[in-house]
Amino acid sequence: MKRSVLTRYRVMAYVTAVMLLILCVCMVAKYGFDTGADLTFVVSQAHGVLFMIYLAFALDLSSKARWPFGKMLWVMISGTIPLAAFFVERKVRAEVEPLVNDSLATARA
Determine the average pLDDT of the residues in 40-48.
95
pLDDT on residue 107: 62
Of the listed ranges 59-63, 81-85, 103-107, the one predicted with least confidence? 103-107
pLDDT on residue 104: 61
Cα distances (Å, whole numbers) of residue 75 to 69, 84, 92, 105:
10, 9, 8, 27
The total number of residues shown for the chain amounts to: 109
In this prediction the pTM is 0.87
Mean pLDDT of the chain: 89
